[in-house]
Chain A
């Protein structure tokens, strides 16, 4: 047995040599995980914003879907509606790896494809969805992009906005706002924020809203080290890269600060919520960056037309 152990280890050693020097990889991986966690939080906010498009209908349909899922087995067949019919995509309650879809009236539902249990981000109409491994697939399950999706879907149902480091350095590098369509070339829009330095351990900038239709995107980043934390959001014109307006929140003197940013899908309205230290307070900014409303609580999402905001009293759910 010792012989076979040595031989097997030798054989694996040869393939492992391809992996090369792993010095520094561990730290990079862990930093990436923390950054990914922040990005996912931002993505969840965007998903919440999409669901809030018609909040009341979503609540009704959500309840319907939940009750249906609890009382019936998973849909057996593929969903059979044309691409022009919007769908709500969701993880199958009995198999998290499977993505199901339901029309907004709740009358038609079915299987879409496999999305991986790690989470799925669909565009607003549910015609494309990205899996946690960065793949993008269409409703038929066809692979549209093999990897690399990150960020936020745009309202043209094809494009998405995302942040990436300039050059190959992933820490301390300028961050670039990019727009792409699955499987197509990336357009670099503007430099917004910076990827955190090695010792900073702060999240990189992330996209909050992406509107190709309205030629705008919203980007947010927290930076600094407690007790001197700074949070900044930018509203950027996609066609020119021009920063239309930016706002900075400086909250010195506290190490337990929670700031949340929400934006309407067209990037016209931006809400900055400071959830901690209590009490939670939110400010809503209009298209030109002027404050148009103040409220107690946290703004979680906007309605599709931007006329309504979903707010919660603390930092939790509405």
Chain B
């Protein structure tokens, strides 16, 4: 290996910074590796240089286009074709309104609270309740929703996994441990040690759209989120319209109305426009540790995206890779003849595992099936 010149080190470091600025996860060690790698290839050979940098600086194939474009522009070569600028859809103007003002927000929430107090005769059976759309929903269904949330929580609760752990009483004798113990007593098998399967815990992350277009459904969905948050401890709830807010703690307040009160203080963009992509990207960026293979991520939205659908697609691709399952619940999917043709939905579909309706209780009931990993 030849020692690289100071110029080369400097140039490589600059290239790494450029890559980092474009989102590639590189540390100082990678710069060092890249420089060392360049020391062991033929520097006059452009392809050698490209492959050496690629092996050391590219960490996943998804970043390959970015890497190639930057390499070409940085190390001399064909000028990269600029990515198409996002096309502004004709309908974006009206939807991209400023977030609802605080007073308006409060009014929306208050109207829900009022509805809460209206006494509406309870539907006689669960089916009857289940068939109603959220938009025409009565009001003491909070109890029904709570019961549903409990059922879902039971489905989600721990199930035996594949790893073993020692336990006083268990399903199997742990031969390894028992024999280990027996060594103490000179090979006499005096006590048996047992083992059993470690429990596998599923976690739930809910990302709910509370923009204007979801208003019809938002009230019941909120009840659902509230009930779920309180029935099951491993739930994290986020809401978004134009930006993302974590509302786990707000929802965990005892009393539905108090929770709504806290929410109105916390969330600044109720009934605003929708930027699903940006909101999900900020979730991916700010809460990377929340999603792993034992996490089910549920996105609750009608898919009316006013931002760049490409951003949405990218954020979902990341979530899809990290999560155990990615579920998209769309209230519109329950209406006959609905087809997911919006640009947002089109960008989302390739990345989601389960696409299901969420317009009434019956559809939420179905949800339970998709939630256990």
The reply to whether chain A is a binding partner of chain B is: no
Query: A residues touching B (Cβ–Cβ < 8 Å)?
Result: none
Query: B residues touching A (Cβ–Cβ < 8 Å)?
Result: none
